Amino acid sequence: MRDPVVSEESGAYVWFSDELDEKQRESVTKSVDAVVTRSRARYAALASDYEARSAFFAPHMRLVEEDATAVQALTELDDRRKARFQELSVVDEWPAAKLDFVPAFGGSDAPGIEVFPLPYHFAWEWHNGNPPSTSTSDRLDGTIRVANGVAFDSERSDAHAGFGVFLTTNVPRAVIGRSLRRSDHTWWVSAGGFGGDATAEGGLEMTALEDGRFLDAVADKRFRRRVSDGESASEPFQLGLTTGNPLELTWTMQPNKGYTFNVGGWVFCEQHFGFGAGGFSYASAEVRAQVSALTVSE
C-alpha cells in the first residue's frame, strides 16, 4: 500500500485508490476531517481532572505515608493487580480472517443496488488522546485492527480506523447504506482502589457525508465495561468473527455533489487513578474486523 496523505487540518492518515482524481481526493479528505472534528468536539468535553484529583489526594496520601503498615498493604495490593493485569494482557493468537468474496451485481441482477466490493476507494486512521498501540485499515483486503490502552499519566485514548467509497449521482436519489462486516474483540480493565475507575468500549461505525458535510452516523457498540474501586474484569478474543447488529444509514443524494460512505472500527479507553500506591488504574481494548462489501440501495 502506498504512503498515506496526512491531513493538514486534522492530522488523519488517508490512503487513496488510483480510481479517485484530485478533486475527489480533496472531497474525501474534507469528509474525513469533518468526522474527526465532530469526534474531537465531543472528546474535548471530557476535560481532564488529573490536577484536581491530585490536589485532593495529596494531603490524604501524606497521612497514609506516615503509617508503614498502610503503605505496605497498598503496595502489595498494587503488585497483585499488576501481576493479574500482565496475565490478562497475554492473549491467544487471533487467526487471519477468511475473506468473503462478494460478486458485483449487475443492474439486471439486483435493480437499485450498487455493491462496492474490495478494494475500497480510500482508507483512514486517526485518534484522540493517547496514540493507539495498533491501528491498521487495509482497503485492499477489508481488514481492520485497532487497539489502545491507558495507564498512569495516560488518561484517555480514542482510536478509529476504516474505509470508504466515493459516490455521485445524475438524479436525486434517496438511498440506504449498509455493510457486510464481521468482528472480534478483547478488553481488560482494572480500577485502582479508593476511588479509581477504568472503562473500555469499542465496536464498528458507519458515516455518510456530502462534500465534507456530515449527514448521519450509526454505531454498533460491541462492548462496554466500566469498573471501579479495585475491581477488575476482562473478555478474551472469541477466536472467530461474528456478525454484529444490523446497521443502515439513509440519506438523499443530489446531482453535482460528492458523497462518501464509510465503515470503520473504534476503541475507547479511559482511566482515573484512585487513592495512594494501590490506586493506579488500567484499561486496554482491541477490535479486529473484516468488511467484505459496502452496498448502497434505493
Q: Write out pLDDT tens, residues 227-276.
A: 988 888 999 888 778 887 778 999 999 999 999 999 999 999 999 877 65
Domain that holds residue 60: 5-297
For residue 162, what are the β-bridge partners? 124, 264
Cβ-based neighbours of 101, under 8 Å, separated by 6 or more: 117, 292
What CA–CA distance (Å, rounded) separates 38 from 179?
Answer: 22
Residue range 90-128, pLDDT digits in tens? 444 544 444 444 444 333 345 578 899 899 999 999 999
* Dihedral sign, Cα of residue 106, residue 209, residue 260, residue 102: negative
Q: Are 158 and 129 in contact (CB under 8 A)?
A: yes
Residue range 168-194, pLDDT digits in tens? 999 999 999 999 999 999 999 988 877
At position 35, the amino acid (one-letter code) is V
The predicted pLDDT at position 133 comes to 92
Q: Tell me which H or E stretch contains 145.
A: strand 143-151
Helices (H) and strands (E) in the chain, counts: 3, 15
Q: Are 158 and 134 in contact (CB under 8 A)?
A: no
Cell of 253: 443524494
What CA–CA distance (Å, rounded) separates 126 from 83?
Answer: 32
List C-alpha distances in Å: 249 to 155, 163, 178, 217.
33, 16, 7, 7
* Mean pLDDT on 189-213: 91
List C-alpha distances in Å: 203 to 45, 144, 160, 269.
21, 11, 10, 12
List C-alpha distances in Å: 174 to 171, 177, 296.
10, 10, 10
Provide the residue count of the chain: 298
- Hey, how many other C-beta atoms are within 10 angstroms of the C-beta on 60? 12
* Mean pLDDT on 68-91: 67
The predicted pLDDT at position 229 comes to 82
Burial category of 100 from C-beta neighbours within 10 Å (exposed 0-12, middle 13-18, buried 19 and up): middle
Rg (CA), the chain: 22
- Hey, how many other C-beta atoms are within 10 angstroms of the C-beta on 240? 11
Give the confidence band of 14 by pLDDT, cuts at 50, 70, 90: very high
The predicted pLDDT at position 92 comes to 47
* Mean pLDDT on 142-147: 95
What CA–CA distance (Å, rounded) separates 137 from 162?
Answer: 5
Give residue for cell 464509510: 262
What is the number of structural domains in the chain?
Answer: 1
Q: Residue 16 pLDDT more than 70?
A: yes
What CA–CA distance (Å, rounded) separates 286 from 148?
Answer: 7
Q: Residue 45 pLDDT more than 70?
A: no
Each residue of 23-53: b (16+ CB within 10 Å) or e? ebbebbbbbbbbbbeebeeeeeeeeeeeeeb
235 backbone dihedrals φ, ψ, rounded to 5°:
-140, 120
Give the confidence band of 46 by pLDDT, cuts at 50, 70, 90: low
The predicted pLDDT at position 1 comes to 59
Give the confidence band of 199 by pLDDT, cuts at 50, 70, 90: very high
List C-alpha distances in Å: 48 to 115, 127, 181, 189.
44, 17, 35, 19
